[in-house]
A = this chain, B = another copy of it.
């Protein structure tokens, strides 16, 4: 249903490439485990590399900085959503297409995550991102980049020019704003299941019309 792009590397070619993949995976897993167990700021890059037994320099050859490793799985999830959005029929209006794409991707992204790290670890990482100021800041910037990408995609679907017509950006901004609220509430609540975020998403998106009415009373 959803075309996963560069996820699930089907056993890379040479020995060298496989070794490389293993090192990266080991660094990623070790980093996330340390992050969620003792906190992001409290974890040094040296600790991560000692756990995997490579030099600090090697870490920075795989990840441009300490933050990036925390977002490796998130990248997967975002690619999943974009793919789901592209797959929505052209007949659907912008808001409906985005809504359905989100709900679609929640249905299938679990497996994609599990190929890299345990789903449970991803969810705890997400909560960590939401609660660590330095990571939250980066998360929001990444979301803004995704937002721009989605706006272009929506404009394309509707045959509009993003630069000329404000509606694609406005719609996507409003939509993403709501999505961020649900993400934050999910990370805060106790129920960290994928079903929970799905339900929350539906509930909040259903309110977007009413919330923008002139009068709530």
Binding site for B on A (CB under 8 A): 93-96, 133, 136-138, 140-141, 143-144, 158, 160, 166-171, 173-178, 180-181, 203-204, 207-217
Contacts and interface: CB of A to CB of B under 8 A. Distances in A.
A114 B7 CA distance: 52
A173 B204 CA distance: 11
A170 B178 contact: yes
B203 A166 contact: yes
Contacts of A210: 167
A214 B38 CA distance: 46
Q: How many chain copies does the complex carry?
A: 2
Contacts of A168: 211
20 contacts: A93-B215, A95-B214, A133-B141, A136-B141, A136-B144, A137-B138, A137-B141, A158-B217, A166-B181, A166-B204, A167-B207, A167-B211, A167-B216, A168-B211, A170-B177, A170-B178, A170-B208, A174-B174, A177-B177, A208-B212
Nearest to A184: B144
A211 B96 contact: no
B173 A180 contact: yes
A212 B141 contact: no
Contacts of A158: 216-217
Given A136-B144, A137-B141, A171 B93 contact: no
A168 B204 CA distance: 11
A2 to B, nearest CB: 24
Contacts of A208: 170, 174, 212
Nearest to A147: B177
A160 B217 CA distance: 11
A216 B92 CA distance: 11
